[in-house]
Structure 1
C-alpha cells in the first residue's frame, strides 16, 4: 500500500518520513527548518530527482555552526536516514542536510541509488566520493530505531480539581474533564494499594444517584485513612491523594 501523504510545515511528506524527522529533532533537541520535502517532481533541479518520490527531505543549516551541522546529520542518520551535509562547494545550493529515509516504499530512482551509495559508505553525489559524515549508522532503519526506542506511553492525567469534587457531591451527570476527575478518584479508592472500596463499589447500586454514591465513596476513604468522616472531598482527602502522586488544583 502507498504511504499516507500529509502536508507538514509547508511541504508534502509521508507519515513515516515525518515521524523520522520528529525523532531526529528530539535527538538534536531542537526543531529543524525544512527546505524541501518529498513528492516534488520537477522541483529543485539540483536535487537530480531524489525528491520526486517519498522519503526525501532537506534541512536548512545555513545559520548553524560546523558542529551543529554535523549534529543534525548524526541525528538524521541515527533514526534511519541516509543523510549528508551538502555545502555550496559541492553544488549550486546553500548549506543543508540532505536526507533519504532508508526503506521508504516510494523512493524515486535517484533516491534509491543514494541509499545504495550510503550503504557503500559513499557521499551520494555524482563524483561518488567517500562518505564525509559521522560513521556507525549505515545499517540503521526507522524500524530498528523504533525497536530500540519504543515510543513512550503518554503519562496518565493525575490531576484532581477541587471544583469538580464539589460539583460531584451534588450532581449526578458529569462528563468531560470533571467527569474524568470523579472517575479518577473512585478508581483510586478501589485500587489494591488503597483498598478503601471494592471494585463492585466503583458504580452506584441500583436506584442510588451518583452524587450520593460519591459521598459514600468519600466516607469510606475517610474511614479507611482514619480521617474525620464528612462525605466531603476536603483537604484531608486531598492530602492522602497527594501521597499517591496526584496533583490537586482549584
Structure 2
C-alpha cells in the first residue's frame, strides 16, 4: 500500500503539491503539520538544488520511499527511482528533514510505504539547449568524479594521520584544480553546511563540513569541533 505525495519543485517558482492516495476512503491519512501549504513552504525554504546538477542542467523526478512510525518520524527511507547523481542525495535529505512533522492517525499502519516524487526543474538556465547525449555525458562525468573524489579524500585523510606520500601532493593539487575545487568552492560548501545546520540537518551539515576538511581545507574545523562527533 502506498501514499503518493506528488511534489513539483520549480527552481525560482513556488512549488506545487498534490496528494494522491490509494488508501480507501475510510482510511485516515498522515498529514504534514499545517497541511499542504506548510509542506510546500517547508520544501521551498529548505531544498538546496545540488550544484553539479544545476551546473549541468540535470533535472527530473526522484522518487523517495519512506515509512512513518506512530510519532510521525521517518524510517526506512530510500531512493525508489533516481538518476544516481546529487539530485538523489538532496531528494532523500529533504524527505528525511520532514521527520517528526507529520500528524499521525491513531490507526496508522507503520508498514505502509509512502512515496514522495520530487521533481527538480530548472528555469532560465538555458537547459532546453542541452541535448540528451550531453545530459547522459554529464551523468557519466558525475560517476567518474566519484572515483577522483575518493583519491583526493584518501590523500588528505592520510595527510591528517601523517602517513601521506609528499610526492603525491602536486598531483592531488592538480586534480583539485581540474575538478574546480578551489577556495571559492570550499567556501560555498561551508556555507551550505551552515545552512543545513540552521535547518536542523546536523548530519548533512557535518557531511559537508567533513568534505571541506577532506579537500584539504581547514575552514570548517571550528564547525566540526562544535557540532560533529
**TM bucket normalised to smaller:** under 0.3
Answer 1 or 2: which has greater helix percent.
2
Greater RCO (Cα-Cα under 8 Å, separation 6 or more): 2
Task: Provide TM-score, normalisation by structure 2.
Answer: 0.22
Answer 1 or 2: which has greater strand percent.
2
Task: Provide TM-score, normalisation by structure 1.
Answer: 0.20
